[in-house]
Amino acid sequence: MRTRLARRMQTLAAIEISIVLATVILAGALFAFGAYIRSVSIELSGTLAQLQTALSRTPLPDARTAGIFAASLLLGSGSEIVFLDANTRVAVYRAHRTDPKPVVTVRPRGDLSGDPRASGPLSRVILGLATAFGLTSLYGHVGNVYVVVKSSDAALVRTVELFTIPLLVALVLAVVCATLVARMLTKQALRPLDDVTSALARFASGDLTPQPIAADERHELGSLATAYNGAIEQMERAFAARDRANTSMRQFIADAGHQLRTPLTVVQGFIAILRRGGIESAPDRDRILHTMYDQSRVMGALIDKLILLERWESVQTTETAAPIDVGTLVADLISPIADAHPERRFEVSTQSGVLAAIDPTELGHVVTNLADNAVKYGEGEIAVRVSARDGIALIEVADRGPGIPSTAATRVFDRFYRGTQRDIAGSGLGLAIVKRAVERAGGTISLDTGPTGSHFIVQLPRINLSS
């Protein structure tokens, strides 16, 4: 298919280029022919003026006397002079350029048998073009003698035919050059197609290494290479996303298995003890059952968080949540947490009328997880603030603990990441849930940490109902 397309394009290009070159050559030939005709016309005008001037000095010339006088002039081979009186017709012309003297024919008036005539297959075409370019016979008279100065048709045809062969050679060379140029242009034009075909053939053979190809937007097939490069970039991004997803999935499976292994091992161990009947006292049995219940709750909570994250990752919100008063909801959420931890002081400062479009349940996950982290990992007072700035609703949760090391601060939002404080109960999913909930509302979350504590800043797009 590619070969047929290349041949077709090459043929069309060769025809078009040949037509252009032939047109240029023929236009140049016609321009040269026109210049030649103009020079012949000027020569004829000069000859007629010279004859009239010279013959006017001769008293009562006749056609024969005028013809003899014209023969003595330096007459070119491209013109013919005819003198007519009442009875005689005298023609003066040079048959060939090398003839030493012009030919003088004297015949009765009306006898044209002795005039040179043009012959050959191109004579009519050449003479017609000469007439079209304005070559005509010139007429004059001196006394009783009429003078006709005209171009020699035979000489004109012979002169033009001398350039016919060079013209044909030029046309043939134009066709050859057009074919070579068309082949070069076709090869260059189809290069993107060849490159894309080769790349696709390489993919078909199993080599999936992305290799962009050179693209040139100056011709149509250049867009094919550009589209191919765009597909390659998309494929590279897809491969990178696949690799990241695979790495994340392997890490997720490893972390989830590690988190579930400990409570599951405890439960299995106690079940084995209970099956052997090795516990006789009721308090020990109650303690074992209570521990098994706590561990099952840990596993249930972990599974619930994983299901929540998976649902948020796989389902994109299609409707914007109704605006809620962020300050009021945050204050309501912090109040029971503060009551549950009387040993910690909570400073809550909320600005009313700060509206944001976020699901109240998801905002509850954000606030409770941040507050729970501040209680478990921080020290001293916990500050919770809600404010508005430049069209942004700000939720800030800060503690005065030891802060988070800089090496861990960039990973606190990763799933199952718990840093070095693994002796504190937790699953490592709380901040991952916070980050995803904030992103689903179109917001961002950042962490500012140091030796004086950790400061989480949630920014949500604010909604102004008055506008």
Q: Is 444 exposed, middle or buried (0-12, 13-18, 19+ CB in 10 A)?
A: middle
3-state helix, strand, coil in the chain (%, to 5): 55, 15, 30
**Parallel, antiparallel, or unpaired for β 382-389 and 346-350?**
parallel
At 6, the pLDDT band (50, 70, 90 cuts) reads: low
Within-domain flag for 411: yes
147 lies in the same domain as 270: no
**pLDDT(270) > 60:** yes
Within-domain flag for 84: yes
Within-domain flag for 295: yes
What's the pLDDT score for residue 427? 62
Within-domain flag for 141: yes
* Maximum CA extent, the chain: 169
**pLDDT, tens digit, for every residue of 292-327?**
776 676 666 667 666 666 666 655 554 567 888 888
Encoded tokens for 219? 């011709």
83 lies in the same domain as 32: yes
What's the pLDDT score for residue 421? 57
Within-domain flag for 118: yes
Within-domain flag for 435: yes
Final residue belonging to a domain, choices 110, 142, 167: 167
Final residue belonging to a domain, choices 295, 314, 333: 314
426 lies in the same domain as 380: yes
What's the pLDDT score for residue 113? 73
**Structural domains of the chain, count:** 3
Encoded tokens for 27? 């236009």
Within-domain flag for 189: no
337 lies in the same domain as 287: no
Name the residue range of residue 278's domain.
262-314
Least confident of 120-124, 347-351, 434-438: 120-124
19 lies in the same domain as 151: yes
Cα 163 to its chain centre, rounded Å, is: 51
**Parallel, antiparallel, or unpaired for β 88-93 and 103-108?**
antiparallel
290 lies in the same domain as 328: no
Query: Cα dist. 386→36, 74, 151, 410, 460 in Å?
Result: 97, 116, 108, 24, 11
CA distance 22 to 178: 10
